[in-house]
Structure 1
Amino acid sequence: MNKVIDAHIHLDSYEEQDRTKLLSELAASGVESLIAVSMNLESSQMNQKLALQYPGIVRPAYGFHPEQEIPSGNEIGKLMQWMEQHADQMVAVGEIGLPYYSRLEAAERGEEFDAAPYLHLLDRLLALAARLGKPVVLHAVYEDADIVCDLLEKHRITRAHFHWFKGAPHTIKRMASQGYYISFTPDLLYEPEIIELAHRYPKHLVMAETDGPWPFEGPFEGQMTHPGMVREVIAAYGAIHGITPQQAETMLYANTKRFYY
Protein backbone atom coordinates (compact mmCIF):
# COMPACT_ATOMS: atom_id res chain seq x y z
CA MET A 1 0.00 0.00 0.00
CA ASN A 2 1.41 3.38 -1.03
CA LYS A 3 1.80 6.05 1.61
CA VAL A 4 -0.50 9.08 1.51
CA ILE A 5 -0.61 12.43 3.32
CA ASP A 6 -3.61 14.40 4.57
CA ALA A 7 -2.59 17.87 3.42
CA HIS A 8 -5.06 19.79 5.61
CA ILE A 9 -6.79 18.76 8.84
CA HIS A 10 -7.91 20.53 12.03
CA LEU A 11 -6.56 17.79 14.26
CA ASP A 12 -6.92 19.81 17.46
CA SER A 13 -10.66 20.29 16.80
CA TYR A 14 -11.50 16.61 17.25
CA GLU A 15 -12.74 15.30 20.58
CA GLU A 16 -9.77 13.82 22.40
CA GLN A 17 -11.14 10.27 22.24
CA ASP A 18 -11.78 10.51 18.49
CA ARG A 19 -8.39 12.11 17.88
CA THR A 20 -6.55 9.37 19.77
CA LYS A 21 -8.44 6.71 17.85
CA LEU A 22 -7.79 8.14 14.39
CA LEU A 23 -4.11 8.69 15.17
CA SER A 24 -3.82 5.05 16.23
CA GLU A 25 -5.35 4.00 12.91
CA LEU A 26 -3.07 6.01 10.61
CA ALA A 27 -0.55 3.24 9.98
CA ALA A 28 -3.27 0.75 9.04
CA SER A 29 -4.73 3.36 6.66
CA GLY A 30 -1.35 3.98 5.05
CA VAL A 31 -1.41 7.64 6.11
CA GLU A 32 2.16 8.75 6.66
CA SER A 33 1.50 12.20 8.09
CA LEU A 34 -0.98 15.04 8.60
CA ILE A 35 -0.63 18.77 8.00
CA ALA A 36 -2.36 20.05 11.14
CA VAL A 37 -3.55 23.62 10.58
CA SER A 38 -4.50 26.00 13.38
CA MET A 39 -7.37 28.37 14.18
CA ASN A 40 -5.69 30.78 16.63
CA LEU A 41 -3.02 30.91 19.35
CA GLU A 42 -4.63 28.27 21.57
CA SER A 43 -5.12 26.00 18.56
CA SER A 44 -1.52 26.54 17.45
CA GLN A 45 -0.25 25.62 20.92
CA MET A 46 -2.36 22.46 20.93
CA ASN A 47 -1.04 21.41 17.53
CA GLN A 48 2.48 22.04 18.77
CA LYS A 49 1.85 19.60 21.65
CA LEU A 50 0.41 17.02 19.26
CA ALA A 51 3.44 17.36 17.00
CA LEU A 52 5.71 16.67 19.97
CA GLN A 53 3.62 13.63 20.91
CA TYR A 54 3.57 12.30 17.34
CA PRO A 55 6.89 13.40 15.80
CA GLY A 56 7.05 13.13 12.03
CA ILE A 57 3.35 12.27 11.85
CA VAL A 58 1.71 15.51 12.97
CA ARG A 59 3.26 18.39 11.05
CA PRO A 60 1.83 21.67 12.40
CA ALA A 61 0.99 24.96 10.72
CA TYR A 62 0.26 27.98 12.92
CA GLY A 63 -2.08 30.85 12.10
CA PHE A 64 -5.50 32.45 12.45
CA HIS A 65 -8.56 31.14 10.61
CA PRO A 66 -10.51 34.07 9.11
CA GLU A 67 -14.04 32.71 9.63
CA GLN A 68 -14.17 33.98 13.20
CA GLU A 69 -14.22 37.31 15.00
CA ILE A 70 -11.00 39.31 14.79
CA PRO A 71 -9.26 39.30 18.18
CA SER A 72 -7.89 42.36 19.95
CA GLY A 73 -4.63 43.89 18.83
CA ASN A 74 -2.96 42.51 21.94
CA GLU A 75 -4.11 38.96 21.13
CA ILE A 76 -2.89 39.26 17.54
CA GLY A 77 0.46 40.48 18.80
CA LYS A 78 0.75 37.50 21.14
CA LEU A 79 -0.06 35.08 18.32
CA MET A 80 2.48 36.56 15.93
CA GLN A 81 5.19 36.74 18.59
CA TRP A 82 4.55 33.10 19.53
CA MET A 83 4.65 32.03 15.89
CA GLU A 84 7.98 33.75 15.40
CA GLN A 85 9.39 32.14 18.53
CA HIS A 86 8.33 28.69 17.34
CA ALA A 87 8.95 29.14 13.63
CA ASP A 88 11.40 26.23 13.52
CA GLN A 89 8.60 23.85 14.53
CA MET A 90 5.97 24.87 11.98
CA VAL A 91 5.84 23.64 8.41
CA ALA A 92 3.75 26.60 7.25
CA VAL A 93 1.78 29.66 8.28
CA GLY A 94 -1.86 28.65 8.28
CA GLU A 95 -4.68 28.52 8.19
CA ILE A 96 -4.99 32.15 7.10
CA GLY A 97 -7.11 34.00 4.56
CA LEU A 98 -10.32 35.98 4.16
CA PRO A 99 -13.83 35.48 5.64
CA TYR A 100 -15.85 34.71 2.49
CA TYR A 101 -18.55 32.69 4.23
CA SER A 102 -18.93 35.05 7.19
CA ARG A 103 -19.31 37.95 4.78
CA LEU A 104 -21.87 36.01 2.73
CA GLU A 105 -23.89 35.12 5.82
CA ALA A 106 -23.89 38.75 6.98
CA ALA A 107 -25.16 39.86 3.56
CA GLU A 108 -27.95 37.26 3.71
CA ARG A 109 -29.00 38.72 7.07
CA GLY A 110 -28.93 42.22 5.61
CA GLU A 111 -26.02 43.24 7.82
CA GLU A 112 -22.88 45.17 6.93
CA PHE A 113 -19.57 43.36 7.21
CA ASP A 114 -16.27 45.19 7.67
CA ALA A 115 -13.60 43.16 5.89
CA ALA A 116 -10.84 45.74 6.40
CA PRO A 117 -9.53 44.25 9.70
CA TYR A 118 -9.30 40.83 8.07
CA LEU A 119 -7.34 42.22 5.13
CA HIS A 120 -5.00 44.01 7.51
CA LEU A 121 -4.42 40.86 9.57
CA LEU A 122 -3.84 38.73 6.48
CA ASP A 123 -1.32 41.26 5.20
CA ARG A 124 0.56 41.06 8.51
CA LEU A 125 0.54 37.27 8.53
CA LEU A 126 1.79 37.09 4.96
CA ALA A 127 4.55 39.53 5.83
CA LEU A 128 5.51 37.25 8.71
CA ALA A 129 5.52 34.19 6.45
CA ALA A 130 7.71 36.01 3.93
CA ARG A 131 10.13 37.10 6.64
CA LEU A 132 10.35 33.57 8.05
CA GLY A 133 10.56 31.95 4.61
CA LYS A 134 7.52 29.74 5.30
CA PRO A 135 4.85 28.55 2.86
CA VAL A 136 1.25 29.60 3.52
CA VAL A 137 -2.01 27.63 3.83
CA LEU A 138 -4.92 29.68 2.55
CA HIS A 139 -8.66 29.91 3.08
CA ALA A 140 -9.59 32.01 0.05
CA VAL A 141 -12.36 31.15 -2.40
CA TYR A 142 -14.07 32.83 -5.36
CA GLU A 143 -13.32 36.58 -5.52
CA ASP A 144 -11.31 36.47 -2.29
CA ALA A 145 -8.71 34.34 -4.07
CA ASP A 146 -7.96 37.20 -6.47
CA ILE A 147 -7.31 39.55 -3.55
CA VAL A 148 -5.06 36.96 -1.93
CA CYS A 149 -3.14 36.46 -5.18
CA ASP A 150 -2.43 40.21 -5.21
CA LEU A 151 -1.13 40.01 -1.64
CA LEU A 152 1.02 36.97 -2.38
CA GLU A 153 2.64 38.85 -5.24
CA LYS A 154 3.09 41.92 -3.04
CA HIS A 155 5.00 39.85 -0.48
CA ARG A 156 6.76 37.76 -3.16
CA ILE A 157 5.44 34.52 -1.70
CA THR A 158 5.53 31.69 -4.23
CA ARG A 159 4.80 28.69 -1.98
CA ALA A 160 1.04 28.93 -1.44
CA HIS A 161 -1.53 26.21 -0.81
CA PHE A 162 -5.19 27.14 -1.42
CA HIS A 163 -7.12 24.46 0.43
CA TRP A 164 -10.64 23.39 -0.68
CA PHE A 165 -10.48 26.02 -3.41
CA LYS A 166 -13.34 27.19 -5.65
CA GLY A 167 -13.01 30.02 -8.14
CA ALA A 168 -13.55 31.54 -11.55
CA PRO A 169 -11.67 30.33 -14.65
CA HIS A 170 -9.48 33.45 -14.76
CA THR A 171 -8.51 32.92 -11.10
CA ILE A 172 -7.71 29.26 -11.72
CA LYS A 173 -5.49 30.22 -14.64
CA ARG A 174 -3.73 32.90 -12.61
CA MET A 175 -3.07 30.59 -9.66
CA ALA A 176 -1.79 27.78 -11.87
CA SER A 177 0.54 30.17 -13.73
CA GLN A 178 2.05 31.21 -10.38
CA GLY A 179 2.60 27.60 -9.32
CA TYR A 180 0.18 27.75 -6.38
CA TYR A 181 -1.06 24.42 -5.07
CA ILE A 182 -4.66 23.37 -4.36
CA SER A 183 -6.08 20.36 -2.52
CA PHE A 184 -9.24 18.31 -2.92
CA THR A 185 -11.49 17.06 -0.11
CA PRO A 186 -13.91 14.09 -0.08
CA ASP A 187 -16.47 16.24 -1.90
CA LEU A 188 -14.50 15.46 -5.05
CA LEU A 189 -16.58 12.27 -5.12
CA TYR A 190 -19.91 14.09 -5.51
CA GLU A 191 -19.61 17.85 -6.21
CA PRO A 192 -19.72 18.74 -9.95
CA GLU A 193 -17.94 22.08 -9.43
CA ILE A 194 -15.04 20.34 -7.69
CA ILE A 195 -14.87 17.57 -10.27
CA GLU A 196 -14.63 20.20 -13.01
CA LEU A 197 -11.78 21.91 -11.15
CA ALA A 198 -9.96 18.59 -10.90
CA HIS A 199 -10.10 18.32 -14.69
CA ARG A 200 -8.66 21.81 -15.14
CA TYR A 201 -5.91 22.30 -12.56
CA PRO A 202 -2.35 21.13 -13.37
CA LYS A 203 -1.72 17.69 -11.92
CA HIS A 204 1.69 18.57 -10.47
CA LEU A 205 0.06 21.23 -8.24
CA VAL A 206 -2.58 19.02 -6.59
CA MET A 207 -2.82 17.49 -3.11
CA ALA A 208 -5.52 15.65 -1.11
CA GLU A 209 -7.02 16.70 2.22
CA THR A 210 -9.93 16.01 4.56
CA ASP A 211 -10.34 19.34 6.40
CA GLY A 212 -11.50 17.12 9.27
CA PRO A 213 -13.45 17.11 11.44
CA TRP A 214 -15.67 18.84 8.87
CA PRO A 215 -18.31 16.25 7.83
CA PHE A 216 -19.04 15.26 4.24
CA GLU A 217 -22.03 14.03 2.28
CA GLY A 218 -22.43 11.47 -0.50
CA PRO A 219 -20.69 8.17 0.37
CA PHE A 220 -19.34 9.75 3.58
CA GLU A 221 -22.72 10.74 5.02
CA GLY A 222 -22.85 10.14 8.78
CA GLN A 223 -19.17 9.19 9.07
CA MET A 224 -16.55 10.89 11.21
CA THR A 225 -14.06 12.47 8.84
CA HIS A 226 -10.90 10.35 8.98
CA PRO A 227 -7.50 11.00 7.36
CA GLY A 228 -7.83 7.64 5.64
CA MET A 229 -10.50 9.21 3.43
CA VAL A 230 -7.74 10.90 1.42
CA ARG A 231 -7.15 7.53 -0.24
CA GLU A 232 -10.69 7.64 -1.66
CA VAL A 233 -10.16 11.26 -2.72
CA ILE A 234 -6.98 10.27 -4.51
CA ALA A 235 -8.64 7.29 -6.22
CA ALA A 236 -11.42 9.59 -7.46
CA TYR A 237 -8.83 12.04 -8.75
CA GLY A 238 -7.03 9.24 -10.54
CA ALA A 239 -10.27 8.09 -12.18
CA ILE A 240 -10.88 11.61 -13.49
CA HIS A 241 -7.49 11.52 -15.22
CA GLY A 242 -7.58 7.90 -16.35
CA ILE A 243 -4.82 6.64 -14.07
CA THR A 244 -4.86 3.93 -11.41
CA PRO A 245 -5.32 4.74 -7.72
CA GLN A 246 -1.74 3.64 -7.14
CA GLN A 247 -0.42 6.02 -9.79
CA ALA A 248 -2.49 8.85 -8.33
CA GLU A 249 -1.22 8.08 -4.82
CA THR A 250 2.38 8.21 -5.99
CA MET A 251 1.81 11.51 -7.79
CA LEU A 252 -0.07 13.35 -5.03
CA TYR A 253 2.30 12.02 -2.37
CA ALA A 254 5.23 13.46 -4.33
CA ASN A 255 3.39 16.77 -4.77
CA THR A 256 2.69 17.07 -1.04
CA LYS A 257 6.25 16.13 -0.07
CA ARG A 258 7.58 18.71 -2.52
CA PHE A 259 5.48 21.46 -0.96
CA TYR A 260 5.66 20.68 2.76
CA TYR A 261 8.96 18.87 3.32
Structure 2
Amino acid sequence: MIQMIDSHIHLDHYTDDEIEEVNSSISTIQSLISVSFNLESAKRNLLLSEKYPKVNPAFGFHPEQPLLTNDERMELLSWIECNQEKMIAVGEVGLPYYLRQESSKPLPLQEYIDQLEVFIVLAKKWNKPIILHAIYEDAPIVCDLLEKHSIQKAHFHWFKGDPVTINRIAANGYCISFTPDIVYEQEIQEIASIFPIEQMMVETDGPWRFEGPFKGLMTHPNMMNESIAILSKIKEMPIQEVYKQLLYNTRKFYSLI
Protein backbone atom coordinates (compact mmCIF):
# COMPACT_ATOMS: atom_id res chain seq x y z
CA MET A 1 0.00 0.00 0.00
CA ILE A 2 1.20 3.52 -0.85
CA GLN A 3 2.22 5.38 2.31
CA MET A 4 2.94 9.06 3.00
CA ILE A 5 3.80 11.39 5.87
CA ASP A 6 2.46 14.92 6.09
CA SER A 7 5.65 16.61 7.24
CA HIS A 8 4.02 19.93 8.12
CA ILE A 9 0.41 20.50 9.17
CA HIS A 10 -1.26 22.79 11.71
CA LEU A 11 -3.75 20.17 12.88
CA ASP A 12 -4.66 22.22 15.93
CA HIS A 13 -6.01 24.95 13.64
CA TYR A 14 -8.71 22.67 12.24
CA THR A 15 -12.11 22.46 13.91
CA ASP A 16 -12.86 19.44 16.07
CA ASP A 17 -15.11 18.00 13.37
CA GLU A 18 -12.44 18.52 10.72
CA ILE A 19 -9.82 16.85 12.90
CA GLU A 20 -12.09 13.82 13.28
CA GLU A 21 -12.68 13.79 9.51
CA VAL A 22 -8.95 13.96 8.75
CA ASN A 23 -8.00 11.26 11.24
CA SER A 24 -10.74 8.92 10.04
CA SER A 25 -9.67 9.13 6.39
CA ILE A 26 -5.88 8.80 6.37
CA SER A 27 -5.33 5.09 5.95
CA THR A 28 -2.35 5.78 3.66
CA ILE A 29 -0.84 8.39 5.99
CA GLN A 30 1.71 7.04 8.47
CA SER A 31 2.16 10.24 10.43
CA LEU A 32 1.13 13.88 10.73
CA ILE A 33 3.86 16.26 11.92
CA SER A 34 1.70 18.88 13.61
CA VAL A 35 3.60 22.12 14.19
CA SER A 36 2.73 24.74 16.78
CA PHE A 37 2.01 28.46 16.51
CA ASN A 38 2.41 29.48 20.17
CA LEU A 39 2.03 28.05 23.68
CA GLU A 40 -1.71 27.34 23.45
CA SER A 41 -1.18 25.76 20.05
CA ALA A 42 1.58 23.55 21.46
CA LYS A 43 -0.65 22.45 24.33
CA ARG A 44 -3.43 21.51 21.93
CA ASN A 45 -1.06 19.63 19.64
CA LEU A 46 0.17 17.64 22.62
CA LEU A 47 -3.42 16.72 23.50
CA LEU A 48 -4.11 15.74 19.89
CA SER A 49 -1.04 13.49 19.87
CA GLU A 50 -2.36 11.75 22.97
CA LYS A 51 -5.74 11.17 21.31
CA TYR A 52 -4.59 10.27 17.79
CA PRO A 53 -1.61 7.87 17.46
CA LYS A 54 -0.58 9.21 14.04
CA VAL A 55 -0.07 12.77 15.32
CA ASN A 56 3.49 13.76 16.20
CA PRO A 57 3.69 17.27 17.70
CA ALA A 58 6.37 19.89 17.23
CA PHE A 59 6.59 22.82 19.64
CA GLY A 60 7.68 26.33 18.74
CA PHE A 61 6.59 29.89 17.98
CA HIS A 62 5.51 30.91 14.48
CA PRO A 63 7.43 34.03 13.39
CA GLU A 64 4.60 35.74 11.52
CA GLN A 65 3.30 37.39 14.68
CA PRO A 66 4.49 39.97 17.24
CA LEU A 67 7.55 39.07 19.26
CA LEU A 68 7.12 37.36 22.58
CA THR A 69 7.66 39.42 25.70
CA ASN A 70 10.37 38.18 28.03
CA ASP A 71 7.76 36.68 30.37
CA GLU A 72 5.91 35.00 27.48
CA ARG A 73 9.15 33.57 26.13
CA MET A 74 10.14 32.17 29.50
CA GLU A 75 6.70 30.59 29.95
CA LEU A 76 6.82 28.99 26.49
CA LEU A 77 10.38 27.74 26.80
CA SER A 78 9.74 26.39 30.29
CA TRP A 79 6.71 24.45 29.05
CA ILE A 80 8.63 23.08 26.05
CA GLU A 81 11.51 22.09 28.32
CA CYS A 82 9.10 20.11 30.47
CA ASN A 83 7.54 18.42 27.43
CA GLN A 84 10.45 18.18 25.00
CA GLU A 85 10.58 14.38 25.22
CA LYS A 86 7.04 14.30 23.82
CA MET A 87 7.81 16.42 20.74
CA ILE A 88 9.23 15.20 17.48
CA ALA A 89 10.88 18.53 16.60
CA VAL A 90 11.20 22.22 17.40
CA GLY A 91 8.82 24.14 15.19
CA GLU A 92 7.49 26.06 13.58
CA VAL A 93 10.07 28.80 13.99
CA GLY A 94 11.78 31.24 11.67
CA LEU A 95 11.64 34.83 10.45
CA PRO A 96 8.64 37.10 9.65
CA TYR A 97 8.89 37.60 5.86
CA TYR A 98 5.19 38.21 5.20
CA LEU A 99 4.67 40.30 8.33
CA ARG A 100 7.43 42.65 7.16
CA GLN A 101 5.74 43.05 3.79
CA GLU A 102 2.42 43.89 5.42
CA SER A 103 3.69 46.12 8.25
CA SER A 104 3.38 49.90 7.91
CA LYS A 105 6.59 50.38 9.91
CA PRO A 106 9.89 48.48 10.04
CA LEU A 107 9.97 45.41 12.28
CA PRO A 108 12.89 44.77 14.65
CA LEU A 109 14.37 42.02 12.49
CA GLN A 110 17.40 41.52 14.72
CA GLU A 111 15.11 40.73 17.65
CA TYR A 112 13.36 38.09 15.55
CA ILE A 113 16.77 36.68 14.61
CA ASP A 114 17.76 36.58 18.28
CA GLN A 115 14.48 34.83 19.14
CA LEU A 116 15.06 32.25 16.41
CA GLU A 117 18.60 31.62 17.64
CA VAL A 118 17.22 30.68 21.05
CA PHE A 119 15.16 27.92 19.42
CA ILE A 120 18.11 26.78 17.31
CA VAL A 121 20.28 26.45 20.42
CA LEU A 122 17.57 24.44 22.17
CA ALA A 123 17.06 22.16 19.16
CA LYS A 124 20.76 21.30 19.31
CA LYS A 125 20.67 20.87 23.10
CA TRP A 126 17.72 18.49 22.87
CA ASN A 127 19.01 16.77 19.71
CA LYS A 128 15.77 17.54 17.86
CA PRO A 129 15.16 18.48 14.21
CA ILE A 130 14.10 22.08 13.62
CA ILE A 131 11.21 23.08 11.33
CA LEU A 132 11.71 26.45 9.65
CA HIS A 133 9.63 29.20 8.13
CA ALA A 134 12.42 30.92 6.17
CA ILE A 135 11.90 32.10 2.60
CA TYR A 136 13.47 34.44 0.04
CA GLU A 137 16.04 36.80 1.61
CA ASP A 138 15.40 35.40 5.10
CA ALA A 139 16.72 31.97 4.18
CA PRO A 140 20.43 32.90 3.96
CA ILE A 141 20.19 34.54 7.40
CA VAL A 142 18.74 31.33 8.80
CA CYS A 143 21.40 29.25 7.06
CA ASP A 144 24.05 31.41 8.74
CA LEU A 145 22.54 30.59 12.15
CA LEU A 146 22.22 26.90 11.41
CA GLU A 147 25.82 26.72 10.26
CA LYS A 148 26.99 28.75 13.27
CA HIS A 149 25.51 26.13 15.60
CA SER A 150 26.39 23.11 13.41
CA ILE A 151 22.76 22.05 13.05
CA GLN A 152 22.41 18.79 11.12
CA LYS A 153 18.63 18.37 10.83
CA ALA A 154 16.83 21.43 9.44
CA HIS A 155 13.53 21.29 7.56
CA PHE A 156 12.66 24.31 5.38
CA HIS A 157 8.93 23.98 4.87
CA TRP A 158 7.21 25.41 1.76
CA PHE A 159 10.52 26.94 0.69
CA LYS A 160 10.83 29.76 -1.83
CA GLY A 161 14.16 31.29 -2.77
CA ASP A 162 17.00 31.71 -5.23
CA PRO A 163 19.12 28.93 -6.73
CA VAL A 164 22.20 29.89 -4.69
CA THR A 165 20.29 29.40 -1.43
CA ILE A 166 18.65 26.23 -2.71
CA ASN A 167 22.08 24.77 -3.44
CA ARG A 168 23.34 25.90 -0.02
CA ILE A 169 20.44 24.14 1.71
CA ALA A 170 21.12 21.00 -0.29
CA ALA A 171 24.87 21.09 0.36
CA ASN A 172 24.24 21.32 4.11
CA GLY A 173 22.06 18.22 3.99
CA TYR A 174 18.92 20.11 4.98
CA CYS A 175 15.44 19.20 3.71
CA ILE A 176 12.74 21.07 1.80
CA SER A 177 9.07 20.07 1.75
CA PHE A 178 6.54 20.79 -0.97
CA THR A 179 2.86 21.67 -0.55
CA PRO A 180 0.03 20.99 -3.03
CA ASP A 181 0.79 24.32 -4.73
CA ILE A 182 3.52 22.47 -6.63
CA VAL A 183 0.68 21.21 -8.81
CA TYR A 184 0.05 24.68 -10.28
CA GLU A 185 2.94 27.00 -9.27
CA GLN A 186 5.84 27.14 -11.74
CA GLU A 187 8.14 28.78 -9.15
CA ILE A 188 7.78 25.76 -6.86
CA GLN A 189 8.16 23.29 -9.73
CA GLU A 190 11.46 24.97 -10.68
CA ILE A 191 12.76 24.56 -7.11
CA ALA A 192 11.83 20.87 -7.21
CA SER A 193 13.64 20.44 -10.51
CA ILE A 194 17.02 21.41 -9.02
CA PHE A 195 16.69 20.12 -5.45
CA PRO A 196 17.79 16.53 -4.75
CA ILE A 197 14.87 14.18 -4.19
CA GLU A 198 16.87 12.44 -1.45
CA GLN A 199 16.27 15.57 0.70
CA MET A 200 12.62 16.19 -0.19
CA MET A 201 9.44 15.76 1.81
CA VAL A 202 5.80 16.57 1.16
CA GLU A 203 3.39 18.51 3.36
CA THR A 204 0.03 20.27 3.33
CA ASP A 205 0.55 23.20 5.72
CA GLY A 206 -3.17 22.66 6.37
CA PRO A 207 -5.58 24.14 7.04
CA TRP A 208 -4.08 26.66 4.57
CA ARG A 209 -6.30 26.61 1.49
CA PHE A 210 -4.92 26.09 -2.01
CA GLU A 211 -5.92 27.22 -5.48
CA GLY A 212 -5.96 25.36 -8.80
CA PRO A 213 -7.68 21.96 -8.57
CA PHE A 214 -7.93 22.35 -4.76
CA LYS A 215 -9.87 25.64 -4.79
CA GLY A 216 -12.72 25.61 -2.28
CA LEU A 217 -11.64 22.32 -0.70
CA MET A 218 -10.60 21.67 2.89
CA THR A 219 -6.90 20.93 2.86
CA HIS A 220 -6.43 17.22 3.48
CA PRO A 221 -3.26 15.10 3.66
CA ASN A 222 -4.53 13.00 0.75
CA MET A 223 -3.83 16.04 -1.48
CA MET A 224 -0.18 15.05 -1.25
CA ASN A 225 -0.91 12.34 -3.82
CA GLU A 226 -1.22 15.10 -6.41
CA SER A 227 2.05 16.67 -5.26
CA ILE A 228 3.83 13.35 -5.61
CA ALA A 229 2.42 12.84 -9.10
CA ILE A 230 3.92 16.17 -10.16
CA LEU A 231 7.26 15.35 -8.52
CA SER A 232 7.30 12.08 -10.45
CA LYS A 233 7.00 14.01 -13.71
CA ILE A 234 9.56 16.65 -12.73
CA LYS A 235 12.13 14.08 -11.64
CA GLU A 236 11.24 11.65 -14.45
CA MET A 237 10.95 8.82 -11.95
CA PRO A 238 8.32 6.09 -11.56
CA ILE A 239 5.72 7.36 -9.15
CA GLN A 240 6.05 4.34 -6.86
CA GLU A 241 9.76 5.11 -6.46
CA VAL A 242 8.93 8.71 -5.56
CA TYR A 243 6.48 7.57 -2.90
CA LYS A 244 9.10 5.25 -1.40
CA GLN A 245 11.87 7.85 -1.49
CA LEU A 246 9.80 10.59 0.16
CA LEU A 247 8.55 8.23 2.85
CA TYR A 248 12.09 7.05 3.55
CA ASN A 249 13.40 10.64 3.69
CA THR A 250 10.77 11.75 6.18
CA ARG A 251 10.98 8.69 8.40
CA LYS A 252 14.76 9.03 8.54
CA PHE A 253 14.73 12.80 9.18
CA TYR A 254 12.21 12.53 12.03
CA SER A 255 13.66 9.29 13.42
CA LEU A 256 10.45 7.41 12.68
CA ILE A 257 12.41 4.43 11.32
Q: Which runs of 4+ in 1 moved over 2 A?
A: none
SS of alignment partner, residue 244 of structure 2: helix
Q: Which amino acid aligns with 2:31?
A: S
TM-score by length of 2: 0.97
Counterpart in the other structure of 1:161: 155
Q: Which amino acid aligns with 2:245?
A: M
SS of alignment partner, residue 65 of structure 1: coil
Q: Extract unaligned runs of 5+ from structure 2.
A: none
Residue 97, structure 1, aligned to residue 94, structure 2: yes
Percent identity of paired positions between Structure 1 and Structure 2 = 50
Q: Extract unaligned runs of 5+ from structure 1.
A: none
**Count of matched residue positions in the alignment of Structure 1 and Structure 2:** 255
Q: In the TM superposition, what whole-angstrom CA distance separates every residue of 1:24-83 from its partner, at most 9, and x where no partner exists? A: 1111xx11110000001110110001111112x001100000001112111111111111
Among 28, 52, 55, the residue aligned to 1:54: 52
Q: Could you tell me how far apart the structure 2 residues matched to 1:184 and 1:240 are? A: 13
TM-score by length of 1: 0.96
Among 167, 171, 175, the residue aligned to 1:173: 167
Residue 24, structure 1, aligned to residue 21, structure 2: no
**Is the 8 Å Cα contact of residues 4 and 32 (structure 1) preserved in structure 2?**
yes
Report how far residue 245 of structure 1 moved. Answer: 2.1
Q: Which amino acid aligns with 1:69?
A: P
Q: Between 193-202 and 236-245, report the one with greater CA deviation.
A: 236-245
Q: In the TM superposition, what whole-angstrom CA distance separates every residue of 1:154-201 from its partner, at most 9, and x where no partner exists? A: 111110000000111111111110000000000000101100001000
Q: Could you tell me how far apart the structure 1 residues matched to 2:107 and 2:89 are? A: 29
Among 34, 42, 48, the residue aligned to 1:36: 34
CA RMSD of aligned residues (A): 0.9
Q: Could you tell me how far apart the structure 2 residues matched to 1:95 and 1:247 are? A: 29
Report how far residue 116 of structure 1 moved. Answer: 2.2
Report how far residue 205 of structure 1 moved. Answer: 0.2
**Is the 8 Å Cα contact of residues 235 and 244 (structure 1) preserved in structure 2?**
no
SS of alignment partner, residue 34 of structure 1: strand
Q: Which amino acid aligns with 2:178?
A: F
